[in-house]
Each structure stands twice: as structure tokens, then as C-alpha cells.
Amino acid sequence: MSAPLYINGVISGHTNMLFSIFGGFLFGFFLEATGFASGKNITDEFYFRNNRVIQMMVTAILTSTFWFLVFGSLGLIQIQNIWTPNLYLWPYIFGGLLFGVGMAMSGYCPGTSVAAIASGKKDAMVFGLGMLVGMAIFIFGFPFEKDFYVSSDLGQVYWHTLFGANTLVSFIITLAIGGFFMGFMQYIVSYVNKNRTESKEYSMQYLIGVLALIFVIVVTVLLKTLLPAS
């Protein structure tokens, strides 16, 4: 949140730390205020009872991506200097499945569990204890897991580098995928809850999302020779 100000010397390190603490407080406050510190709201997503989590996550991703582009275009941050981890394909798939199963069973992820613990929820405390045990198992068992942990290394992968284009292409593709995924999930939620009228409305949004995704991919390929690599 305050990184561009700190990097460009507008604020000091101490002020940046205060911004970080304040941002963390706001993060926890809004998690609680919007109901994401409740395990039920998160598990409802896995049972297709509502679409709140997907909507919130996709909106957050698109918002942060947009502001990264804005700050980058203004020269406040150097996007190419922002560190991103390498893509370890199979470890990421396995870790994602493991994380998803744990989230579906408990109704929490690490961030929401901390907010729930702060509000006194006992199930979140049990989850937090289990998370600490899992972290300990991973740390002490790392010598046995290391080979798999660093396997199938594909390096740093970005949408725009796949097409040899600039960072704007990453935002466009992310926007298309996010819109497609939100529309698709809302259609499933509406259908499962037998709200056929609403599902028909969202089926049109889903179709538009599919067409937008196809359009973006086609245009991106066509622009490959026109847009300079970042």
C-alpha cells in the first residue's frame, strides 16, 4: 500500500511501518465486517451456496493489478524489479489441492483465521493450532521434501512474457479470466440453488465472459509483433 511512497523517499521507514500496521488493522477489520472471519461463509463457497469469496478475491486481484500498472506507468515503482517466485508446477498443484481441502474442511485460510481468533471464535483457535502443527511438520520434514519442493521449476512466468508483449497484456488477460470465473461461479451457484431465472441471466454473462476470454487471447496473439517486450 505504501511501498511507492517509501521507495521514492516520500516517507521514512518508520512511517512506512506505521502504514503497514494501519493497513493490517484495516484488513482485519474489513474481514470481520464483511463476514469473512466466519468459517460458514467460506465453506458455503465450496458447497455453491454463495459466491462472495470468489467475488472478493477476484476484485482484490484486479484492483491491485490495476494500481500496479498505474504506479508503474507513473514511474513510482519498477514492476520488473518486483520479486516474484518461480513457478514450481507440481508442488504448486499439490500445495493448492492441500490448501483447498484444508480450507473446505475448516472454513478458514491463515488470514481469516487470525481475524476470527481475534474475535474469539473457538473453531478458528483450533484451526490456528493445526496450522502451527502443520508448519512444524513441514519445517522439520523439509530435508525429505526438498527434492519435490523444487521440482518442475519453470522459472518466473507472466502472461505477457508468454506472448512476448508488455505488462498491459497481463492486466487484460487477468481481467478477462477474472470476469469469466466470476460469471461462471455465479451461474453454478444460481443453478445449484434452483434460481433458474437468475441462472439464465448469469448464463448470458458467462457466455459474454467466454467470448471476451477468446477475444483477448486472439488479440494478444495478434499484438505479439506490435507490442514491445517490457
The residue ranking higher by pLDDT, 89 or 223, is 89
At position 229, the amino acid (one-letter code) is A
Instruction: Give the closest residue to 165 by CA, choosing from 205, 82, 222.
Output: 222
201 found inside a domain: yes
Which of 103, 137, 156 marks a domain boundary?
156
150 and 218 together in one domain: no
Give the pLDDT of residue 190: 80
Stretch 83-89: mean pLDDT: 87
Q: Write the CA distances from 22 to 19, 26, 27, 29, 32, integer angstroms.
A: 5, 6, 9, 10, 15
Look at residue 205 and tell me whether its pLDDT is greater than 60: no
Structural domain count of the chain: 2
Give the pLDDT of residue 209: 54
178 and 76 together in one domain: yes
Range of the domain at 197: 60-84+158-230
Which of 123, 156, 189 marks a domain boundary?
156
Look at residue 227 and tell me whether its pLDDT is greater than 50: no
78 and 164 together in one domain: yes
93 and 199 together in one domain: no
190 and 96 together in one domain: no
150 and 166 together in one domain: no
26 found inside a domain: no
1 found inside a domain: no
Per-residue pLDDT of 22-73, as tens digits, reads: 888 888 888 888 788 888 888 888 888 888 888 888 888 888 888 877 777 7
